[in-house]
């Protein structure tokens, strides 16, 4: 999933406050490779097995992922890409014109912190691979929320510190490394799947992916559809990928997201899920407790697998820490870039020590999308509908505001209700980004329309 | 030089793709698979590192 967050080929800090010039535009080839690499990340090793832990059935997984990923691709192609290529601005710059600088600071803070927690999950995944040669290190299971011991804590701190230092010093190197590693990592995912099928003695996925007896079905068809469609909600309907697709020469480059969705979020997830199926059947592992990804991948393909898990976590965590640093710097402008990255890396490392984020990744990405995606609806209304419906476009820039209260209400009213439903009433978080996004767009439209009407009547009076 | 590096890296990727299939069809042992994947990994990343240091012709 999670590119989320990793825009490794994005030139950092270029054209941040201006339209991307024509000579900087890129053809579709750049985007297909980038999306394929970004969505084959360390966290894919967690998500596949988590579906099994949630008792998903074969057809729900296979068809649900097919449909959900298609929805995600369509969102990138028909919502994100047209806005990005039309405006050729970053999300942050566009938001500033709509929301005002002070409100964007709040968005940056939320964005930065959530990035840190996501990078922390990648540290956790990498630590499960680093720990394989150390049999005395107790690995966390799906139900572990707290560190499992001193050895685990030290491993996570060392990995987190290294990632942070590289993010401060060597972003360009990691970006190149990420691009180089992507095709190889994908093939290792596939190798894990093929080896596991051979060991299980069957290629009948519908039989293999049956939930283990006694595993409660916590996710059904629509759960899989909504999860796969909106685990990257912050990126597509949330418009964070404006920062990338603004470089696209044509809107059709939005189709490139299909590479990430169907290689990373389909093939890789199913291959990773098969690993836990094998451990459940051959070693009697409890699917609800799980097996650390490092151990499963090492068992399937050996040292190449361990390197794959570490690189997959590292190449995606580093840009995430870097971006979290930029977001935190936006919120705390007195910090230097290095200080902000250090702060982000420290939060990420602490989060990585606690397996809670990685082991609850399905819920976490839903919360992530619920909080950040609705802001994208404000941009969609401003870009597609504002002029048609008589709303002021870029209201903060137009009226010289630093804080647009309409956006704050439109953003946090549905998000607050969504979080209350999720934490208070157990509604799965992956169902929430879309309704919150729609509600945010509608509330923003109504509030801005009222304001425009009252401004117009005040002017005429 | 760059052509040679490209050929080696291509071969490494091909091995990574084909070795699991050979294992699947009983043409390769599990130990053989692991060794081939390890060699291919070293080839893939090794050529990438060298390519970074070789100036474009």
Chain A positions touching B45 (Cβ under 8 A) are 180-181, 184
> Would you say residue A64 has pLDDT above 50?
yes
Instruction: From A269, A285, A268, select the one nearest A277 (Cα to Cα).
Output: A285
More confident site: A250 or A143:
A250
Query: What is the predicted pLDDT for the residue at A196?
Result: 94
CB contacts, 8 Å: B38 with chain A = 302-304
Q: Which residues of A touch B21 (CB under 8 A)?
A: 194
ipTM score here?
0.95
| pLDDT at residue A454, rounded to an integer | 78
Averaged confidence pLDDT in chain A: 87
Cα gap A125→A292, rounded to integer Å: 8
What is the distance in angstroms between the Cα of B1 and the nearest Cα belonging to chain A? 19
Q: What residues in A contact B35, CB-CB < 8 Å?
A: 302
In chain B, residues with a C-beta closer than 8 Å to the C-beta of A190 are 17, 20
Q: Counting one residue from A and one from B, how many pairs have CB atoms under 8 Å apart?
A: 55
Q: Which residues of B touch A195 (CB under 8 A)?
A: 20, 23-24, 30, 33
Sign of CA dihedral A290, A291, A293, A297: negative
Q: Which residues of A touch B (CB under 8 A)?
A: 176, 180-181, 183-184, 187-188, 190-191, 194-195, 197-198, 301-305, 307
Q: Any chain A CB within 8 A of the CB of B21? A: yes
How far, in Å, are A379, A387, A451 from residue A392 at the CA level?
Answer: 12, 7, 9
Our CA-based measurement puts residue A446 at a distance from the nearest CA of chain B, in whole angstroms, of 55
Q: Most confidently modeled of A35-44, A144-153, A405-414?
A: A405-414
Cβ contact A297:A130 at 8 Å: no
Nearest to A304 among B21, B23, B38 (CB): B38
What's residue A140's pLDDT?
86
Nearest by CB to B37, which of A180, A181, A304?
A304
For residues A28-42, give the mean pLDDT: 83
Of residues A66 and A316, which shows the higher confidence score? A66
For residue A161, give Cα distances in angstroms to A165, A269, A313, A359: 6, 28, 14, 21
Question: Mind listing the pLDDT tens digit for each residue in A172-193?
Answer: 766 777 778 888 999 999 999 9
Residue A2 has a pLDDT of 42
Q: Is pLDDT at A359 greater than 80 in this prediction?
A: yes
Q: Which residue has the higher pLDDT, A317 or B30?
A: B30
Give the pLDDT band (50/70/90) at residue A230. Answer: very high
**Sorting pLDDT into bands at 50, 70 and 90, what band is A92?**
confident
Residue of higher predicted confidence among A112 and A176: A112
A336-356 pLDDT, tens per residue?
888 888 999 999 999 999 998
Across the interface, of A176, A194, A303, the residue whose CB is closest to B24 is A194
Q: Which member of B13, B45, B52 has the closest CB to residue A187?
A: B13
């Amino acid at each position: 999933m999670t590119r989320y967050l990793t825009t490794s080929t994005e030139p950092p800090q270029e054209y941040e406050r201006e339209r991307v010039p024509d000579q900087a535009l890129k053809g579709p080839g750049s985007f297909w490779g980038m999306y394929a690499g970004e969505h084959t990340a360390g966290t894919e090793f967690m998500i596949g097995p988590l579906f099994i832990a949630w008792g998903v059935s074969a057809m729900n997984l296979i068809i649900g992922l097919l449909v959900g990923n298609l929805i995600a691709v369509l969102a990138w192609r028909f919502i994100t890409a047209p806005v990005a290529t039309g405006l050729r601005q970053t999300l942050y710059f566009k938001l500033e014109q709509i929301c005002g600088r002070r409100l964007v600071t709040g968005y940056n803070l939320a964005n930065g912190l959530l990035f840190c927690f996501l990078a922390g999950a990648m540290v956790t995944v990498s630590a499960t691979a680093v720990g394989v040669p150390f049999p005395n290190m107790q690995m966390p299971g799906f139900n572990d929320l707290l560190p499992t011991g001193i050895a685990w804590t030290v491993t996570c701190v060392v990995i987190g510190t290294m990632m942070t230092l590289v993010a401060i010093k060597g972003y360009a190197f990691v970006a190149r490394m990420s691009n180089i590693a992507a095709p190889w990592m994908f093939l290792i995912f596939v190798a894990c799947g093929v080896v596991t099928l051979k060991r299980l003695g069957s290629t009948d996925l519908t039989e293999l992916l049956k939930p283990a007896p006694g595993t409660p079905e916590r996710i059904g068809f629509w759960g899989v559809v909504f999860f796969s469609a909106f685990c990257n909600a912050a990126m597509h309907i949330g418009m964070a990928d404006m920062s990338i697709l603004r470089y696209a020469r044509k809107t059709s480059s939005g189709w490139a997201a299909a590479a990430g969705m169907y290689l990373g979020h389909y093939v890789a997830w199913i291959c990773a899920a098969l690993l836990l199926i094998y451990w459940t059947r051959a070693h009697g592992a409890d699917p609800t407790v799980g097996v650390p990804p490092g151990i499963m991948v090492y068992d399937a393909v050996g040292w190449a697998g361990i390197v794959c898990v570490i690189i997959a976590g590292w190449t995606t965590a580093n840009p995430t820490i870097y971006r979290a640093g930029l977001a935190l710097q936006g919120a705390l402008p007195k910090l230097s870039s290095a200080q902000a990255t250090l702060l982000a890396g420290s939060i990420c490392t602490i989060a990585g020590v606690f397996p809670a984020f990685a082991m609850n990744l399905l819920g976490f990405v839903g919360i992530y999308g619920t909080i950040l995606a609705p802001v994208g609806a404000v941009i969609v209304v401003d870009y597609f509908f504002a002029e048609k419906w008589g709303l002021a476009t870029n209201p903060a820039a137009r009226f010289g505001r630093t804080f647009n209260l309409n956006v704050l209400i439109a953003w946090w009213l549905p998000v607050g209700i969504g979080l209350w439903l999720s934490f208070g009433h157990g509604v799965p978080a992956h169902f929430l980004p879309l309704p919150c996004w729609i509600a945010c767009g509608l509330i923003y439209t109504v509030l801005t329309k009222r304001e425009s009407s009252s401004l117009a009547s005040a002017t005429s009076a | 030089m760059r052509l040679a590096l490209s050929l080696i890296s291509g071969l490494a990727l091909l091995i990574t793709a084909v070795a699991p299939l050979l294992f699947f069809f009983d043409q390769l042992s599990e130990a053989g698979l692991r060794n081939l994947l390890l060699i291919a990994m070293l080839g893939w990343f090794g050529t990438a590192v060298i390519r970074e240091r070789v100036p474009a012709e």
